Structure 1
Amino acid sequence: MGRAWIVALLAALPLAACDSIASFNPFDNTERYKTDNTPIVPAERLYNEGLSRLKENDYSGAVKRFENVDRQHPMTDWARRAILMQAFANYEGGQYEEAVSAAKRYMTLHGNTPDAAYAQYLLAMSYYNQVPDIGRDQERSALAAQALADLVQRYPTSEYVTDARYKLSVVRDQLAGKEMTVGRFYLEKRQYTAAINRFRDVVAKYQTTRHVEEALMRLTEAYMALGIAQEAQTAAAVLGHNFPDSPWYKDAFKLLQSGGLEPRENQQSWISRAFRGFTRTVVGLN
């Protein structure tokens, strides 16, 4: 009798197991899983449709066509070109974050191709077109500066370098201007160390901008206020040596005189070291 009970139990297990599996079967819901019946369209046709959409200024429609090329025909030359065109179409349509994503993807996958310089240019311009006014956070300005600098460094012979250099000077001027704005605020609040740190950034990082003359004058002012005469004298001396006709030098000179001092450069100062080999080339700004 015991043997017959075991046989009966073993015979029942498969049925119970089947019932249990059926009740938790993730594949029994035919509505949840559907076969993708999207027809495969030739890559050339999709790509040309994207170009036609671009001519009609239908940028979102163009992006969709180029995305379909990339999705339906991956690892092909059509897909490579389609990624770049996604960046371009998004850029033209003002969708800068999407343009950045597509350009970065192109650089990651195809950074050694002849079109990589253009992808980098689209990346930089997408950031550049988002540069805010001087009173706002300059994160996009910093990203634009880095992308433009990368373009100049990586692709020095590309046709986009001249424009990139000009725009880089504009963005750097913007970043320097922001530092000056914050530095002046600290100076007015008599928070001299905080002010010096801002002006120091301008002198160290943005020497070729129009703001460097004022930064040296403000360093003279802040160091005088702290009683650090040698650094104040050095800042004024460096300002006079590099920008002898600057009105900011005249102000720095008068300030030193009021304290019984005169410009005198300390060659060991960080200010003096920052200007060794200095050559100023400032692009005119509107």
Structure 2
Amino acid sequence: MTTPLRHSPKRPFFDRLGRRFCFAVGVIVLAAPLGGCGTGNLWDKYFAKDETFVDQPADKLYNEGLFLLNEKSDRKGAIKKFEEVDRQHPYSDWARKSLLMSAYASYQAGDYDECIANANRYISLHPGSPDAAYAQYLVAVSNYDQIPDVSRDQGRTEKAIAALEEVIRKYPNSEYATTAKKKIEGARDQLAGREMTIGRYYMDKRDYTGAINRFKVVVTQYQTTRHVEEALARLTEAYMAIGVVSEAQTAAAVLGHNFPDSRWYKDAYNLVKSGGVEPQENKGSYISRAFKKFGLG
């Protein structure tokens, strides 16, 4: 007696799966010759390379970036084009140029941190390039343009001065060195202004020692700034207030010698005279030495 086959409860599922698989295969096979009939080749449709990722010529991308930057003022769009040059052609001369242009476009867009990052990367990768001086200058002016009001912390100002000095040190004969020197004077003036602001505050509080310490910084470190005249006059006032007459006389005398037509000298002169003395320079005073050091005394 033949033993009947056991019925498996899973067989109908696999039968259906098999029929569906055969049907799918049949559809693919039938579809293949229909490519010329407008249905499209399934392989090309689902497995072909995405054309959006096809590399484009480096010079084409670079010039498109220049067009967006110069003609359309589309800085963000330009940056994307320059970055694409670096991505698709990382070791080309176009990539080098694009990196610098990305820094410049970021500067134009006011994205100073991005500008500094790209410019520093350029300097690191291409230190011997003729454009390295410009990259260093971009670092400097990105910091310079962020110099805050004198009432705020001047850390950014100090960074700007350091970067500008680096331009002069590394590229003394470049066109950027001359501009850097002028900007350094502006930044130093800002630092002096910060000291003056704090010094005036101490004067208002009658903290004359605290005020003298601030005005002293201006006199000893920032003689070439526009704040030095007032600093000397304030030192005259503060020293007279605490009875250190000889230093008050020296401050007034140095002020009169270097800035005889200054309104601040008139104030300092009258103040010393009201104390029964004349402006008189003490050659051993730090005030006198500071000005002689810079050829101003």
Instruction: Identify whether the pair has TM-score above 0.5, normalized to the shorter chain.
Output: yes
1:61 counterpart = 2:71: no
Runs (5+) with no aligned partner, structure 1: 1-36, 281-286
- Quick one: structure 1 residues 233 and 111, their matched pair in 2 at CA, closer, same or farther if it must change by over 3 Å? farther
Query: What amino acid does structure 2 have at the position aligned with 1:128?
Result: Y
Alignment partner of 2:63 out of 48, 62, 65: 48
Moved over 6 A (4+): none
Name the CA distance, whole Å, in 2 between partners of 1:212 and 1:128. Answer: 22
Name the CA distance, whole Å, in 2 between partners of 1:223 and 1:151. Answer: 40
Alignment partner of 1:166 out of 182, 187, 211: 182
The equivalent of 2:4 in structure 1 is none
- Quick one: structure 1 residues 188 and 52, their matched pair in 2 at CA, closer, same or farther if it must change by over 3 Å? same
The equivalent of 1:17 in structure 2 is none
The equivalent of 1:197 in structure 2 is 213
Deviation of 1:212 after TM superposition, in Å, equals 0.4
The equivalent of 2:173 in structure 1 is 157
Residues 88-99 of structure 1: matches in 2 within 5 Å? 88-99=104-115
Question: Which has the bigger relative contact order, CA under 8 A and spacing at least 6?
Answer: 1
Query: What amino acid does structure 2 have at the position aligned with 1:105?
Result: R
Alignment partner of 1:177 out of 165, 176, 193: 193
**Larger displacement relative to structure 2 (129-138 or 47-56):** 129-138
1:130 counterpart = 2:168: no
The equivalent of 2:132 in structure 1 is 116
> Percent identity between the aligned chains?
60
Deviation of 1:194 after TM superposition, in Å, equals 1.7
Runs (5+) with no aligned partner, structure 2: 1-51
Deviation of 1:155 after TM superposition, in Å, equals 2.1
Name the CA distance, whole Å, in 2 between partners of 1:232 and 1:40. Answer: 74
Which protein has the larger Cα radius of gyration, Structure 1 or Structure 2?
Answer: 2
Query: What amino acid does structure 2 have at the position aligned with 1:224?
Result: M
Deviation of 1:161 after TM superposition, in Å, equals 3.2
1:141 counterpart = 2:157: yes
Alignment partner of 2:274 out of 246, 252, 258: 258
Once the two structures are superposed, residues 152-206 of structure 1 have per-residue CA deviations (whole angstroms, 9 ceiling, x without a partner) of 3332222233333333322222222222111101111111222122112211222
Name the CA distance, whole Å, in 2 between partners of 1:112 and 1:267. Answer: 49
- Quick one: structure 1 residues 196 and 112, their matched pair in 2 at CA, closer, same or farther if it must change by over 3 Å? farther
The equivalent of 1:28 in structure 2 is none
Name the CA distance, whole Å, in 2 between partners of 1:231 and 1:77. Answer: 63
Deviation of 1:65 after TM superposition, in Å, equals 1.9
Structural RMSD (CA)? 2.2
Figure out how many residues of one structure are paired with residues of the other and give that number.
244
- Quick one: structure 1 residues 63 and 232, their matched pair in 2 at CA, closer, same or farther if it must change by over 3 Å? same
Once the two structures are superposed, residues 263-286 of structure 1 have per-residue CA deviations (whole angstroms, 9 ceiling, x without a partner) of 222222221221114357xxxxxx
Deviation of 1:141 after TM superposition, in Å, equals 2.8
1:206 counterpart = 2:222: yes
Secondary structure of 1:122's match? helix
The equivalent of 1:215 in structure 2 is 231
- Quick one: structure 1 residues 86 and 218, their matched pair in 2 at CA, closer, same or farther if it must change by over 3 Å? same
- Quick one: structure 1 residues 269 and 90, their matched pair in 2 at CA, closer, same or farther if it must change by over 3 Å? same
Name the CA distance, whole Å, in 1 between partners of 2:127 and 2:216. Answer: 36
Alignment partner of 1:71 out of 87, 99, 116: 87
